[in-house]
Amino acid sequence: MAPKHLRTIDIARTIGVHPNTVRLYEDYGFLPEIPRAGNGYRIYTPMHLEQAKLTHLTLGWSYVGDKALLIDMIKRAAHDDYGMALELAYNYLARVRTERTHAEAAIEFLERWAAGHLMDATQQKMHIGEAADYLAVTVDMLRNWERNGLIEVPRDPGNGYRLYGPAEFGRLRVIRTLVKSGYSQMAILQMLRQFDAGHTSNLRDALTIPPESAISLYYITDRWLDSLVALEERAQAIIRQIGHMLDRVHQQP
């Protein structure tokens, strides 16, 4: 039996987007070539619908790493190169899992610091330029973290210069590790406020659960670990969708 033909509105309703979004998918090369009826209307097949599902699943949400990889994956599938599309999907899954490993390791580093373990052997007090060199960061980064409330640095009573010591170095190492692992400064600030209030346990939750008194707008990095878990699930769903499309191709007469 010949495959049922679908309209633009059918595709749009099924995946939950505006019909213009489906037309954009076509313009960007995300869909296989779409034949036209005598009246000029587009004629979609079930495989067009599956490709639209893949495109929406991939691009309708946040992502990590290079977007070009995902674009390439979608276009490969649109041109029936499902083997390469599947390979790229697994590459993306590996990237997400790597990011999640970094985020988990950063939390373990945080928990070690919060438990009172020393981070530095030096007892030397340093001014901001020396501290930046010691930590392999820039002076601007140190000032930015202080300006955003992540750390309060004591001053030399004689000249008013900032003085960084072991306590500051430990805190700054935690801040740097979390920032490099993808956590937002807002999430880190929320966690540090709990720590400064004497709540040294469950700081992992402080990084991932927004306070109820906060504003309702959040970025993906404000709940980074939770977001990475969801991104991994999304990557696995992408793999399943490509596998489903591949199965459909083999089932066609």
- Which domains occur in the chain, in start order? 8-96+227-251 (1.10.1660), 99-225 (1.10.1660.10)
Q: What is the pTM of this model?
A: 0.84
Q: Which has more confidence, 20 or 214?
A: 20
Residue 252 pLDDT > 50: yes
Residue 210: per-residue pLDDT:
60
Phi, psi at 208, each rounded to 5°: -120, -15
- Average pLDDT over the chain, rounded to whole? 91
Residue 215: per-residue pLDDT:
47
Residue 94 pLDDT > 90: yes
Angle at Cα 59 formed by Cα 234 and Cα 34, nearest 5°?
Answer: 120
Instruction: Name the token pair of 162.
Output: 């900032």
**DSSP-assigned letters across all residues of 32-84:** ----B-TTS-B-B-HHHHHHHHHHHHHHSS---S-HHHHHHHHHHHHTT-HHH
Rounded Cα–Cα distance for residues 203 and 107 (Å)? 8
From the list 185, 155, 89, 165, the residue with the least C-alpha distance to 125 is: 165
Q: How confident is the model at residue 226 (pLDDT cuts 50, 70, 90)?
A: confident
Rounded Cα–Cα distance for residues 133 and 131 (Å)? 5
pLDDT in tens, 151-169: 999 998 989 999 999 999 9
